[in-house]
Structure 1
Amino acid sequence: IRSAPRSPKTIVFPAARILRGLKSNRRDIQRAPIWQTILRCLILTLLIIAAARPVMNRNDFAADDGAILIIADNGWDSAANWRQYRTALDQIANQARFDLQTVYIAQTVPEATGASTWKLPDIVGPLSPADTTSLFDRLQPRPWSADYTALSDLISERPEMNRSVGSILWLTGQMDSPDKAELASELLDIAPITIISPTTTDRIAIRSLNRSGTGMVATLSHNRDDLPRTVNLLARGERGNVILRHSVDLAANTDQSDVAIMLPSDISNAIQSVGIEGIESAATMFQTGARWQQRRVGVVASSGDGPGVLSDQYFFLDRALSPYADVTYAPLGTLLENGVDVLVSAGPISGLGSQFDALERWINQGGMLVRFAGDSSSQIGNDFLPVRLRLGNRDFGGSMSWEKPKRLLDFPENSPFHGIAVPDDITVTRQLLAEPDPDIVSKTWARLTDGTPLITSAPRNAGRLVLFHVTPWADWSNLPMSGLFVELWQKILPLASPSNRSDAELQSSLPAQTVLDGFGHPHQPDALILPVQTPLPTPSPRHPPGIYGENGQAVALNLGPSLTDIGRDVVWPSGVSTREVTDQSQIDLAALCLLAAFILVLFDALILLVLNHVSLRRSRRSNALTSVLLAVILTGASIAVMHPLPSAAATNLPEAALQPRLAYLETGNAPVDRLSHAGMTGLTEILRRRSAADLNSVDGINPETDELSFYPLIYWPLVDGQEPFSERAQDRLNRYLNNGGMILIDSRDREVEPARL
C-alpha cells in the first residue's frame, strides 16, 4: 500500500452531523449569567469592607497616635451624671480598641490609706482596652471633693507616661473648684486636652435644713440659669418611705433658694432624710440626726401662775426652746400624764409632794429633768439633783462682796458642749455652790474661771438629771439672754431619749453608724472610717457623710453645708477643647457587612438550586454545596462579631461563672434593693482592699429564674408582704445550700417565724 498508494477519492457527506449530540463536561466561564457575576462581586465587596472594621457614629475623642490619659473626675458632683460618664468611658475604650492604643487612668478624689490618712490613688497604666473596661466597672463617685493639687503632683511623678501620652481626655463637669483651671494649664504642656462634660449642667445641693415653728426651712444652692426651674423635695422616714413631696421653684439668675414648708410636728419628727427627686447624689441628700427630732418639753408651773407671770419668768427659756421643741406649761401631774420627754423646773418643784413617786418612776424610765436655781429667797430642795448643794448661794460683785463677776471656761471634753465657743461677754454674778465630792469633776458640764461648776449632770437609771446653777432669767447671769443658751439647749434636747447612758458614754467622739456613698445611698461603715468630734469636720475619706453616734447623740454629717460657690463655672485656659457626651452609640459595621454577605450567599445558593434543577444528592451539587458551606462560615463570623464576649458590667450567667461576685435577692422594694446593692458593693470593695479576692460588680438575682451556684454569698433581706417562693425556687435554694453556698438572711429588725424561713 505504501509503495503503490491508492489515489484519493472525494466523498461528500454532512460533517456537522458528527457534532450532533456531542456533550462536553468542561464549563465555559463566559456562560455565567451577568446577575450571578454582579451578586458574587457584591459578596466579595462586603467581605472586604467587613475586614476593614468600619464604625458608624465614631467618636474621635483623641488622636490615634500615642497613649491616652483619661482623667476621671469622680468627686461628689459627678454622681448626678454618672450614667453619662460611664457612656463616655465606654466610648473611649472602644476608640482605644479600634485604634490599638494603650490607656492610662487617673482619678481625682483621694481614698483612705493607713491608719488615719488618705491620698490620691496611683495612676493606673498602661492598660489594654479590655483591662480599661474592667477598671471602669470598679470606678465609683465619692461623696467628697476632688484634690487637683495632689493629681498634679502624681502626674509630674510619671515622666515616662508624659512622654508616651498623645492626648488627654478629662471627664468632668463645668463647676469651678480650687486649682482646677491651673491643672488644665499644666496638662497643656504634656499633650492636647479635651474636656468631656455631661449634657445636663444642673448642679444642686441642700446646704441646710432647719426646724421652724411651723415646719422646716431648706436652703438649696444651685447653678445660675436664665430660665426658672422646678425640683421636688422628698422627705423620707425611718424605713425609707416617702412621707412628703414638695415642689420648689428655683428662680432664674440666682444661685440660692430658700423654701419654707409647713408641717405638723409629728410629721417633722418622722423625717430622717430629705433628698431631691431624680438626682442621686450625696450633695442632694440631707440627713437629720437626733438634733432634728423635736422633743416635748414640759415646764413645771404652779396652778396659780397666769400667762403673764409665765411669759415674764420664762421668756428667755421659751425663746431658746420653741424653735426646737414643743413647749408646754402645766402642773407636774399633768405633764407626767402627757408623757413629755423633758421636764424643766425653776426653784423648788411645784407639786412634788403628791407626784414624788410618779416623777421618780418617769426619770428611771428614761425621762430628763432639767432644773434651775430659783429666786434668792428660796432653796430648790435636796431631791432629784445631780450633785449635793451647799446651803445658800454664792454672790459675786454685790454690796457685801468685793469679788468680780465670773466668766466661763472652755467646756471640758466629757461635756456634750465640748467644741462650742464660749463668748467673752458671758458673766455670772450669783450661783448655787456644789459640794466638792470626789465625782464632781465627772459630773461637771460647764465651770467658771474659778473652777466651780455652772452646769452639772448625772444619770439616774435610764434617765438623766441636769442642773443649771443659775436662774433661767437674767438676774443671776446674762447666760439665758445669750446665743450660747440656745446652743446649749440644742445639745441637751437630743440627749432626752430612753437609753441608759452613763457619763463615760457622753463623749464627743462619735463612731459612724451609717455612711453615704457618692449616690447618696446609705451603707454600713468599714474599718477605715474614723469617729467624728465636735465641731464636725468637712466630709473626707475618713469622715464620709452619714450618721455618727447612737440614739440621742446621733449627729448627721452632711456634704451640703461644706459646699461653697457650686454655681460658679470654671474658666478653661486657651487651647483646651470641650465637647459634650453623646448618646449615639458607636456601631460596628463589620457585623452588618458580614450579615449582608451571608444573606446574599444564601440567595445565590437558592437561585442555583432553582435554575439548574440540581439536588444535593446529584453529582452536580458542588456549586450549591459550596454556597451553603460559605453561608455557614459567614454565619459563624457574623455571630462572633455581633455578639462578642460580654463586658464586665453585664450580669448574665456565663459571666458570673467566669468572674466571681456577690449577689443579693431582689425583693421588688426599690429602696430595699438599692440599699442591698449599695451594701454588697461596699462589701465587695472592702474585700478587694483587704484580701486577694478580685470580685466583680454585684448582681441582683431572683431564685425563680436565675442560677444560684455561681455566687459564693447571697444576701437576702426580708421585707413585709414578700410572696413565698415556689417549689422550684425552694429546690434551687436548698440545692445551693447543700452544695456549699452561703445565704445571709437579714430580718431587718423584724420578728420572723422559723417556719417561714
Structure 2
Amino acid sequence: MLNIGNIVFQNPYFLILLLTFPFFWKYLRSSPLLPSLVKFPAIILVSNHKSIDNTPEKNSFFILLLRILIFIILVLVLSKPKFGKINHSKFEQLVIIDNSWTSSANWNDRKSKIKELLKSYKFSNFNFTIMSTTQHSKNDILNVTTNNYEEAKEFLHKLKPFPWEPNYELVKKNLKNKEKNFDSVFWFTESIINIEKKKLYEFLKQDNLFIVSSLNENLPPILKLNTQSNETYEFEITHLDEGISNGFIDAYDKNRRLLFRFKYNEKFEKDGEFFKTNVNLVLPVYLKNKVDFFQVNSIRTPSTVVYLNKWKKNKLVGLSTLNSNKNIQELDKGNYYVKKALEKNYKIVEDNLENLLAQNLKIIYIDDSYLIEKSLEKKLLTWLKNGGTLIKLSGKKLIRELNLGNENFFDFTFSLLKESSNLGKNLSLKNFLKIREFDNRSPFFGLVIPNEIKIKKYIQSNVKKSENIETLANLENGASLISAMNFGKGKMILFHVPCNLDWSNLCFSYLFVDLNERIINSIKGFKEENERILKPYLSINGFGELEKPYPESLNIIKNLVQKQVKVKYDKPPGLYKDSNGIYALNLSDSLDYNFKKFEFEEKIFSINTLNHKGSDLQNILISIVFILFILENLFIMISKQAINFNIKKNFKFLFVFLLIPTNLIATEKSIFSLVSSNKIGYVITKNKNINEINENGLISLSNFITQKTAAIMELPEPIDFYTDELYYYPLIYWSIIDENTNLDENEIKKINNYTKNGGLLIIDCKTQLNNILPDDCLKIFRNIFPLNFFSKFKVLNNSHAISKSFYLLNSFPGRRNNKVFVTSNESQKSDKGASIVLSNNHWTDSWALNKDKDFLFPLLDNIENQRTLSFRFGLNLLIHSLTGNYKTDQVHVPEILKRIED
C-alpha cells in the first residue's frame, strides 16, 4: 500500500510499469501509413505497384498527449487508487470483543460489523489492539496488536465465541499492563451488565469510547433441566428481555437426528430481572434411551442445549437353573438364547431361583424348562413388590404343569387357558401368524418386525382376563404375545411362546434381542456411584455443538453431594467420561444469573457513522480511458479525412459526449460479470437467519454441481424482486416466510416475465418454522399471485423432465420429504419447461454445511440416501433450467431405459 497525499494505491507495484514508458514511446508517436494515390487507366491492372513513401507519418502533439495520458491512466487503474482524507498521524485503536456464550446467537453479525470497522481504517496509518473478553487459558485472553489489515482480519476470522462467562477483570488488568493511550475504543458487546463489566466500563469511559451493542432480543434464552422422572423432563426456559410463552423443544440423538419435537404453550413468570417459563416434556417410552440432548427453538448456542448423562448401568441379569432336566439339550433351553442375546451388554448370573432372589437382582429369567417351587412363591412375590422383574418364557411344560395344578402362580396372574393354539389344524385358515406392528403406547414402538418371523403356536389368555394385565405385543389376530402385570414396584412379564421352532422362530431373530433390551432398559433401580473422576470426552463449543475437548480441559470430580461444577476455560461444558459412562456438564446448570439489562451512553449501532472510507477511483479512471480512446480515434479519422466533422458545428455533440456518466463502464462491467458466469440467485427475506442458511446451502449445492458436471458455478447472489433484474439467473430460490407476503404489480410482472422466458423459480415455504407439520404451500402461493396467473400445478413425479435431466430420480426430498408441485409456462420459446417448483421440503437446510463441513441440520424424514437425493434434485433443477425439456425427446428413451435397468 502506498499513500500520496490523500490518494492510496492498493497495488503500488503496478506503478513500476511507468518505467517502461520509453519502450512504448516509439509506438505511441507513429501512426498508420497514408494511403498512396495512384492514377491509372481502367483497363490496366497495376499489380506490382509499390508505395512511393513507406515511412510512418508523425502524429500531432494532441494525439501524442492523448496516448501518453491513456498509458499513464491504465497503469493507475491497475494500481487500484482510492481517494479520501488520509490522516498521516498514527492511530492507536482498541477493539474489545465480547465472545462469551451471550454473543453466540449474534456472532456472525458482530464479526461483519468488526470487519466493517477494520476496513474503514484500511488506508489509514493505524495500529489496532484487538482483545477478546473471555479467558481461554490461565490468566490469558486472546488479543493481538497489529498495523496490518490482513493480519487483523485473520485474527478475527479465527476468533470464536466460548461457551462460558467473560472475565472482565482480566481484560482490565491486561489493559493496565499495556500502558497505552488509545485514540478510540470500540467495544462490541450486549446491552447487559454485571459488577465486573461495570468496573471495566467505568475504566474505559476515560477514553473516546464507542459501544456497538446487540439488541437484547438477540440474547439467547437459557434452557435448564430441573428434574427428570421416568419419561417426564421438567425444563425451565429463562430470558432477560422477554417472556417465551410458546415454542418447541427438540430431542436429538448423538448423530443430531431429530427424534421428537414437543410444542409448548405456557405462561411465563417474572423473576427479578428475568422471565421464566416452566415446561414439562413427556417423551414416548420407545425414545427413552435414544435421546442424547435437547434444544429449544432450534437456537444454536451453548445455553439453549441440554445434554443428558449416559451412565452404564452394568445390570446383572439372573437366569434360573432350578430343577433342570438333564435330558433337555442345551439348544432346546430358552435360557441359552436369552444368554446369547444379552451377554454382550449385560452380566449374566446363572443360579437357582432361591440364590438369585437372595442376591437381590432386579431381573430374573425363568425358562419353560424350569419350575417354581411352592416354597419360593412367597419370597418371589415379596421380591416383585420391592421392584424386581420376572420374565417367564412359556411352553408345553408350563401347559402340562398348569393342568396338573403345579403352576397356579402364572395361571392366577395371566388367566391362561392351559392349552396352546392349533394353527394349521382344526380347519384353521392359517398355518402361522405374524406379529402386529407395535403402537406408540408399547415400549417396543419403533422396532422393525422382520417378515420371516412366524408364530405357529402360543398359549392363549382367557378373553375375560383381568384389566390389570397389560399387553405389550400382539399377534395379527389380536392375541397376546407378550403380557405384563405390575406387582407393587415390580413387574412380571410373560412370553406366550417358548424358544422352540415348533412354536415360533422369534428367539432366533434379532427382534428377540431388541425386545429384551427394551424390557431391561426400562427397569430402574441401579444407582450411580457417589464420586467419580471423569476425563474430557467432547466439549460443547460456542454454537452448542460437540467437538474435540478444549486444550485446557481438565478432569472433573463428580460428587453427588457437592454443588454443580462451575463451567470455565479448564472445565468447559460438554461430556466427561469414565469406565461407567458419560456425565453431561451443561452451561445452564452453572450460570449465576448475576447480570441485568443496561443502556450504554456511548452506544452506536452502525460503523457507517464513523465514515472513514475512501472513494474508489478505479471506475472513474476506466471511464476516462474510454473517453480518451474514442477522442484519439475520432481525431485521427478527421485528420485523415476519413469522416467530415466540423468541430464548430458539432460542438454540442462533443460536449454531451464528454458528459457521459462515469459509471457507464462500471455498469457494463457489472452486467458482463453477471452474464459471463453461472450462478444461482436467492431472494432476500426479512429473516437474517434464513438468508444465511439459503446462501450456505446454495454454496454447497453450487460446489456439488461444479464437481459433478461441466458447469462451473459461481457463488450464489442475493436478489430483490423490486430492484434487481432476474434474467441473469437461470434458477432463483425463494423462501416464503410470511403467509401474508404482498408483491406489488411491478414485482409480479417481473416474475411472470422471468418464468415465461425460461427462468425457473424454486419456492420453499417456511411460514411454520416452529411446526413439523407441512405448510399449505399451494394456498400460500394463490394468496400471493392473482388467480389463473400461472397454469395449474401438478405433483412432480418420475415422468417429468426434471426427474431425468441429469440423475434419474423417484423422490425429491430436502430436509423433509413432502410432495413437490410444479407448473410449466406455455411459452414455445422455452419448450414449455417447468417455470415454478413449489414445496416445503427446506432444500437449502439439507445442503447447508458448518465450518467443519458437517451438515448443519438433521433430516426430518429418514428415507434411504435422503441427503444424496436432495443434492441430486438440486443439480437436476439447475440442469433443467439451462436445458429445458430436451430429455423428453424420444431419442433419449433407449439410454434412459438402459440406466433404469442398471
TM-score band (shorter)? 0.3 to 0.5
TM-score by length of 1: 0.46
| Structure with greater contact order relative to length (CA < 8 Å, sep ≥ 6) | 1
TM-score by length of 2: 0.39
